[in-house]
Amino acid sequence: MSSYKLYYFNSRGRAEIARWLFKLSGKEFEDIRYTQEEWLTKKADFPFRQLPVLEVTDDKGKTTIIPQSGAITRYLGREFGFCGKGSLEMARAEFLSEHMMDTVMALFINEEDEEKKKVPVRQALEGPVSEGLKLLEDYGLDCGYFVSEKVSTADLSLACVADILETLDKNILDNTPKLKVLVAKVMNIPEIKGWIAIRPKTQR
C-alpha cells in the first residue's frame, strides 16, 4: 500500500483539493504545513522551488515526488477514481478544472499593500471571476455533477475555489444558482463536511 505526504503552507489554496481527495477516498496522508519562515529553509529541497508537492512511497519503498497542483489533482483523481470513466470523461473533468484555475488567476494581483489591493480585487471579482463562473452555469449539470452521477475533480475544483472566493465575497455565487447548489452538494458530502469541521482554521 502506498503512503503519502502532502507539503504545502498552512492554508487551503492549491493543496485543498488534494486533501479533499484523500478524505473522499479514505486514504491516510501526512498533511505537512510550512510557515513562510520554515519554507525559506526548505525551498531548495523541492522541485521547481514551489509548493504544493506530493510525495508518494509505494509498497516496495520507492518514492516519487510530484510537484504542481494540477498534476497532483489528476494523479490522485485517477488513483482514487474521481476523474470520470474513460478518456472523454477524464478530459471533461480536466478542462473544467483548468477553467476554474484560469478564472481565479485574475485574483493574483502583484500588490503587497492590502488596502491598495481592495479595488483591483473587487474589479476582478465583478469582472473576469464572475464571467468565468457564468460560463459554467449551464455546463451540463443534468446528472447532478459536471461529469457523471459521481463527484469528480471538476466538482471539487469548483467547490474549493468557491470556498475561497466566498471569503472575499459571500454572495459571489448568487448569479449562478446551479453552481451554488452544486457547491453546497459537494460541501455536504460527509467526508468533506467532516474534514471542513476539523481542518486548521485559515483565512484562505
Q: Which domains does the chain have, with CATH numbers?
A: 3-80+192-198 (3.40.30.10), 86-189 (1.20.1050.10)
Task: Classify 83 as helix, strand or coil.
Answer: coil
145-166: per-residue pLDDT in tens?
Answer: 999 889 999 999 999 999 999 9
Whether 67 contacts 48, CB under 8 Å: yes
Which grid cell is 63?
Answer: 518514492
- The pLDDT of residue 148: 87
What are the phi and psi torsion angles at 16 (to 5°)? -65, -35
How many C-beta atoms lie closer than 10 Å to residue 185's C-beta? 14
- The pLDDT of residue 71: 96
- The pLDDT of residue 197: 97
Please give the residue that has the higher pLDDT: either 49 or 108.
Answer: 49
Task: For the chain, give the mean pLDDT.
Answer: 94
Task: Please check the confidence at residue 198 and state whether its pLDDT lies above 80.
Answer: yes
CA 107 centroid distance within chain: 15
Q: What is the pTM of this model?
A: 0.94
Which of 141, 5, 162, 154 lies closest to 90, judged by CA? 154
Quote the percentage of the chain above a pLDDT of 90.
86
